[in-house]
A and B are shown apart, each in its own frame.
Chain A
Amino acid sequence: MTTQETAAKRTALYEEHVRLGARLIPFGGFDMPVQYSSILKEHEAVRHNAGLFDLSHMGQFILEGDGVAAWADELTINAVGTMKPMQARYNIFTAENGGALDDVIFYKLENRWLLVVNASNAEKMWAHLNANLKDGVKLTSLHGKNALIAIQGPKSVQVLAPHTDVDVNALKYYFCAEGTVYGKPAVIARTGYTGEDGFELFVDGADAAEIWNALLRDNADAGLIPAGLGARDVLRLEAGMPLYGHELNEEITPVQAGLQWAIKFNKPSFAGKDALQTQAQNDEYARIAGIVMDGRAPAREGYHVFLGDRKVGEIRSGSIAPSVQNKNIATALLEKDAAAPGTSVVVHIRGTAYGATVVPLPFYKRS
């Protein structure tokens, strides 16, 4: 070997993944399970029963101090200052040009905030937060120390409720609570990235394996199985949720990604406000749209999309979608005149043109 490779880090659950026969891939600097049994089986478990995910690769930062809300409101598009105690809120850190640095979730806990960033952006975000640090804001990283276990699927309440002192049935969507799971301290949030009901458990890395194994042992009858990043990507795509680096990046703004609902233009100022406002008002930008292939050939990232003879964009994510009549779905960054739902477009796959239709997002919504 002549190349130097940085050894991938391991989450607190690495040994469990190996024992469960997971196929591991490097992702966000960690060796992560892409699948245990089969991506489609794990997808099905999450849609009909429940799946258990290790998301400990995601960056967890703690923010403390009286100045956090005002400081964060300057750096992000959504409102932080208006969050209620124990509320969670999706947000995006932006650059002055409106590009997205990362999409994140803020959790407003007692006396502190938990900020969860994408694994692939954890180092960049750590540098960005530190470079912009102000008096009244203290920043600590739990990245790689704390674990994050997600339970996702319609049976999530049934899976978790007997093993926690928190009334998880009463916990509202995008709210969280501090309590215990199997007697171990945990922040329990009703959040997720699958389009199903579910919980995310922020626990100490030292407790993670015990909780993980106990949940699997006690919920086999409920159909709970471990699920990997492969299933997670299909689930989030069906649910129309952006993945940083695909539907959102430093060149694709939150306006282009269709995330206007998360932009609070009534905030006095925030990074990228002018650029985003100008872009939203003139409305002439390429935008993320949903695409359903007419046939069986899957659309993949990077494939070119045409309207007649004119190239109007590129596929950003694509997959077979078991929850969308097993059709091939995709997102594409399309010029405005090609992005209206109902538009017939053509996707070029290995030199052949395949028909597709633009559709509204999300592809899947739970009933």
Chain B
Amino acid sequence: MAQPADLLYSKEHEWVKVEGDVATIGITDYAQNSLGDIVYVELPKVGAHVAQMGTVGVVESVKAVSDLFTPIGGEVTEVNGELENDPALVNREPFAGGWMFKLRLSDASQTSGLLSAADYEQLTQE
């Protein structure tokens, strides 16, 4: 699956879609493929203030528990409730229906450290 060009990426395999002062965050196709069948996603609470690179939840596959980081800081405004009943949505549609949470950016300059689709593609090839 190609990396959508309109998203930004972290080295920890999250993607970020910035629209105004709101960012939508999920994990990449590469990440979901590495994890395997995802069976549980624990997301931050709406209203929580999360710091850049803080642990905000977990993503669990059949075999493993992985921390979910946020590549940028802010206040959580919405979480993807669909994932509670259908965590495999992250496997099927990592860049679309499998989004995880949205937050209001606390500092828009934090996005400057994120990678472009091309740079992220490069990272996953290494």
Residues of A that sit less than 8 Å from B by CB: 23, 34-35, 38-40, 230, 233-234, 296-298, 300, 319-320, 350
Chain A residues positioned under 8 Å from B60 (CB to CB): 298
Residue of B nearest to A234 (CB): B62
Tell me which of B58, B61, B84 contacts A350 (CB under 8 A).
B58
Q: B55 to chain A: closest CB distance in Å?
A: 10
Contacts A38-B37, A298-B65, A350-B42 known; 16 new A-B pairs at CB < 8 A? A38-B36, A39-B36, A39-B37, A39-B61, A39-B62, A39-B63, A40-B37, A230-B36, A296-B84, A297-B40, A298-B40, A298-B60, A300-B65, A319-B62, A320-B40, A350-B58
- The list of the 10 closest CB pairs from A to B, nearest first, reads A320-B39, A39-B62, A40-B37, A38-B37, A298-B40, A39-B37, A230-B63, A298-B60, A296-B40, A39-B36
Measured in the bound complex, the distance between the Cα atoms of B61 and A230 in whole Å is: 11
Measured in the bound complex, the distance between the Cα atoms of B62 and A297 in whole Å is: 12
Contact with A along B38-75 (1 / 0, CB 8 A): 01101000000000000000101111010000000000
Measured in the bound complex, the distance between the Cα atoms of B87 and A298 in whole Å is: 12
Measured in the bound complex, the distance between the Cα atoms of B68 and A350 in whole Å is: 13
A–B Cβ pairs within 8 angstroms, 11 of them: A23-B36, A34-B63, A39-B61, A39-B63, A230-B63, A296-B84, A298-B39, A298-B40, A298-B65, A320-B40, A350-B58
Measured in the bound complex, the distance between the Cα atoms of B65 and A62 in whole Å is: 40
Residue of A nearest to B85 (CB): A296
Q: Pick the most buried of B39, B60, B62: most chain A CB atoms within 10 A of its CB.
A: B62
Chain A residues positioned under 8 Å from B40 (CB to CB): 296-298, 320
Please report whether the interface of chain B is mostly helix, strand, loop or mixed according to DSSP: strand
Tell me which of B37, B42, B61, B63 contacts A297 (CB under 8 A).
B42
Residues of B that sit less than 8 Å from A by CB: 36-37, 39-40, 42, 58, 60-63, 65, 84
Q: B113 to chain A: closest CB distance in Å?
A: 28
Chain B residues positioned under 8 Å from A350 (CB to CB): 42, 58
Is the Cβ of B84 less than 8 Å from the Cβ of A40? no
Q: Total number of A-B contacts with CB less than 8 angstroms?
A: 32
Chain B residues positioned under 8 Å from A39 (CB to CB): 36-37, 61-63
Measured in the bound complex, the distance between the Cα atoms of B40 and A38 in whole Å is: 16
Measured in the bound complex, the distance between the Cα atoms of B63 and A319 in whole Å is: 8
Measured in the bound complex, the distance between the Cα atoms of B60 and A76 in whole Å is: 39
Measured in the bound complex, the distance between the Cα atoms of B62 and A234 in whole Å is: 9
Chain A residues positioned under 8 Å from B58 (CB to CB): 350
Q: B105 to chain A: closest CB distance in Å?
A: 27
Chain A residues positioned under 8 Å from B62 (CB to CB): 39-40, 230, 234, 319-320
Chain B residues positioned under 8 Å from A34 (CB to CB): 63
Residue of A nearest to B88 (CB): A40
Chain B residues positioned under 8 Å from A35 (CB to CB): 36
Q: B59 to chain A: closest CB distance in Å?
A: 11
Measured in the bound complex, the distance between the Cα atoms of B91 and A40 in whole Å is: 12
Measured in the bound complex, the distance between the Cα atoms of B91 and A35 in whole Å is: 16
Measured in the bound complex, the distance between the Cα atoms of B62 and A40 in whole Å is: 8
Residue of B nearest to A229 (CB): B63
Q: B48 to chain A: closest CB distance in Å?
A: 15
Measured in the bound complex, the distance between the Cα atoms of B64 and A233 in whole Å is: 13
Q: B28 to chain A: closest CB distance in Å?
A: 18
Chain B residues positioned under 8 Å from A38 (CB to CB): 36-37
Q: B32 to chain A: closest CB distance in Å?
A: 11
Measured in the bound complex, the distance between the Cα atoms of B39 and A248 in whole Å is: 27
Residue of B nearest to A350 (CB): B58
Chain A residues positioned under 8 Å from B84 (CB to CB): 296
Residue of B nearest to A230 (CB): B63
Measured in the bound complex, the distance between the Cα atoms of B58 and A350 in whole Å is: 10
